[in-house]
């Protein structure tokens, strides 16, 4: 067993990561050891990352024990970069955590300073000065590269800055100079956030924490009213909304709701969250209260203004979409699903079940905006199809003819009537050119039950003994 992590007190005894546990106990007999739990460590890091959304939506994971925050345009909301650093330190200390923080003009510089005891705040003009005393390992180089650089006397980033570039690139490859240029801002280095950025966002920081669901819903409605003008300016409405509730102790709750049609109405948006909160009531533990509420628009679509009808025999579309939204918010998007026709003549690919809101929306689109439907094949189709065709054992009087009897799920059935075959060619652009065709038969057994069977393959080519499958049932 070896050490994978240390606190500052353990480091003061001279212990190091990778050291054997027996050797470490010989140095410090009363060493307190806890078995490593990578899953719990990752869960804690994810929870801290969610909490950091209060500072910026651009939060990315940095290894197994770090976070990268892009605070461009956000620091002034907290009184500047120094005040932001103070706020993070104060809150982390209250959580019982110690954080090493650095703010710099580039991700590479901020990471190097935070992990190798550099300055906390670096101005763009001080980049080279801040990097110079740090070891080359601060540039995220491979351990082997760091060791090879040290062998030739390049132990700090300052040594790299003073050394000629071509010899280093020829001997050690392009990585050292690339990492150095990224830290100096000469090369770009994107940050990949954990979550998609919201299209629109509105938040309310509370002087006094709130605890009840009614208070949360009231604030959600007010935030939705604040987003209405922005949605109108874009000519859009929200289809997917996210409500973030930040608890005082650092826990963050994310609540998502979807809408059948683009929404701007704050009352309807509030009603969706009310339905959702009624389901997750027991999971939303207020604790000592919530101090920050944020409403995000994750997905939007063009908002179509419709003239309402005074008398509509087919019913009010708005009432239907409101019903779908309420059921989806309460029971999830799989509660109501409708079949959608797809561009395929293969039976198991001809339809799919989609959320009712999406299915109705697809049905309203003009033909030019949807997939071009295939010409329907001839013949009757069963009312019920199996999720997957099931193989059956068939005995035929004639090889190419209908089955005389078949065995399905350990039950032998004798055929008294049969219609077919109906041949369906394979979709070569999906299954390949060598895919076998199917010959479908509508058959009836002695009990009057009707089945839809098909023979896959032909006797005269490709397969010596084609396989038989049951795919559906007639009424």
Three-class secondary structure of residue 225 per DSSP: helix
Neighbouring CB atoms inside 10 A of 388's CB total: 9
In a domain, 30, yes or no: no
Residue corresponding to tokens 């959608």: 340
d(CA 102, CA 33): 30
State pLDDT tens for residues 280-298.
Answer: 877 888 888 999 999 999 9
State pLDDT tens for residues 48-66.
Answer: 999 999 999 899 999 888 9
Kindly state whether residues 234 and 264 are assigned to the same domain: yes
Give the count of domains, the chain.
4
Confidence of residue 172 (pLDDT cuts 50, 70, 90): very high
Which residues form the domain of 219?
200-302
- Which tokens go with 90? 């104060």
Any idea what the CATH number is for the domain that residue 229 is in?
3.30.1490.100
Residue 378 has pLDDT above 60, yes or no: no
In a domain, 400, yes or no: yes
pTM: 0.67
For the four alpha carbons of 334, 336, 339 and 342, in that order, the dihedral sign comes to: negative
d(CA 442, CA 420): 6
In a domain, 322, yes or no: no
Kindly state whether residues 389 and 365 are assigned to the same domain: no
- Which tokens go with 408? 């399905």
> Domain boundary residue among 184, 213, 229?
184
Kindly state whether residues 65 and 180 are assigned to the same domain: yes
Q: How many CA atoms lie within 13 A of 17 on its CB side?
A: 6
State pLDDT tens for residues 266-281.
Answer: 999 999 999 888 888 7
d(CA 172, CA 224): 55
In a domain, 41, yes or no: no
For residue 446, how far is the Cα from the chain centroid?
Answer: 52
Kindly state whether residues 180 and 84 are assigned to the same domain: yes
- Phi then psi dihedrals of residue 91, to 5 deg: -70, -40
Residue 414 has pLDDT above 80, yes or no: yes
Cβ contact 402:418 at 8 Å: yes
Residue 348 has pLDDT above 90, yes or no: no
- Average pLDDT over every residue of 392-413: 88
Kindly state whether residues 345 and 451 are assigned to the same domain: no
Give the residue among 47, 48, 19 at the shortest CA–CA distance from 33: 19
For residue 307, how far is the Cα from the chain centroid?
Answer: 37
State pLDDT tens for residues 185-209.
Answer: 999 888 889 888 899 999 999 999 9
Which residues sit opposite 396 in a β-bridge?
A: 403
Kindly state whether residues 169 and 82 are assigned to the same domain: yes
Q: How many CA atoms lie within 13 A of 300 on its CB side?
A: 22
Kindly state whether residues 173 and 219 are assigned to the same domain: no
Kindly state whether residues 355 and 431 are assigned to the same domain: no
Kindly state whether residues 439 and 350 are assigned to the same domain: no
Kindly state whether residues 211 and 264 are assigned to the same domain: yes
Kindly state whether residues 169 and 284 are assigned to the same domain: no
């Amino acid at each position: 067993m070896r050490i994978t992590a240390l606190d500052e007190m353990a480091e003061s005894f001279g212990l190091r990561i990778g050291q054997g546990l027996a050797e470490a106990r010989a140095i410090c007999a009363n060493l307190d050891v806890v078995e490593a739990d990578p899953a719990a460590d990752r869960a804690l890091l994810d929870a801290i990352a969610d909490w950091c959304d209060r500072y910026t939506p651009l939060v990315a994971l940095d290894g197994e024990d770090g976070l990268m925050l892009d605070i461009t345009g956000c620091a002034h909301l907290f009184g500047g970069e120094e005040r932001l650093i103070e706020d993070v330190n104060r809150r982390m200390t209250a959580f019982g955590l110690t954080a090493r923080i650095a703010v710099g003009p580039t991700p590479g510089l901020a990471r190097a300073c935070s992990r190798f005891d550099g300055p906390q705040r670096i101005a763009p003009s001080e980049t080279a000065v801040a990097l110079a005393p740090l070891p080359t390992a601060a540039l995220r180089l491979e351990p082997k590269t760091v060791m090879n650089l040290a062998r030739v006397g390049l132990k700090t980033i300052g040594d790299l800055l003073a050394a000629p570039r071509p010899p280093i690139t020829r001997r050690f490859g392009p990585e050292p100079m690339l990492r150095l240029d990224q830290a100096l801002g000469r090369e770009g280095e994107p940050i990949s956030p954990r979550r998609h950025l919201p299209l629109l966002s509105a938040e309310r920081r509370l002087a006094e924490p709130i605890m009840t669901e009614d208070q949360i819903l009231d604030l959600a409605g007010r935030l939705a009213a604040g987003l209405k003008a922005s949605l109108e300016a874009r000519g859009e409405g929200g289809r997917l909304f996210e409500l973030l509730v930040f608890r005082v102790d650092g826990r963050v709750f994310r609540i998502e709701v979807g809408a059948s049609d683009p929404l701007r109405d704050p009352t309807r948006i509030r009603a969706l969250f009310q339905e959702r909160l009624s389901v997750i009531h027991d999971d939303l533990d207020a604790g000592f209260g919530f101090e920050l509420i944020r409403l995000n628009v994750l997905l939007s679509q063009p908002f179509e203004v419709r003239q309402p009808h005074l008398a509509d025999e087919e019913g009010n579309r708005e009432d239907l979409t409101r019903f779908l939204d309420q059921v989806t918010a309460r029971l999830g998007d799989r509660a109501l699903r409708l079949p959608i026709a797809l561009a395929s003549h293969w039976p198991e690919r001809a339809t799919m079940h989609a959320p009712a809101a999406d299915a109705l929306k697809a049905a309203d689109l003009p033909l030019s905006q949807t997939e071009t439907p295939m010409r329907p094949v001839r013949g009757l189709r069963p009312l019920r199809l199996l999720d997957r065709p099931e193989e059956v054992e068939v005995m035929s009087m004639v090889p190419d003819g209908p089955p005389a009897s078949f065995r399905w799920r350990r039950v032998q059935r004798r055929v008294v009537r049969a219609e077919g075959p109906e041949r369906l060619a394979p979709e070569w652009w999906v299954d390949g050119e060598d895919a076998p065709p199917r010959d479908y038969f509508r058959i009836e057994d002695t009990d009057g039950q009707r089945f839809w069977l098909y023979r896959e393959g032909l006797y005269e080519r490709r397969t010596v003994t084609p396989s038989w499958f049951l795919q559906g049932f007639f009424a």
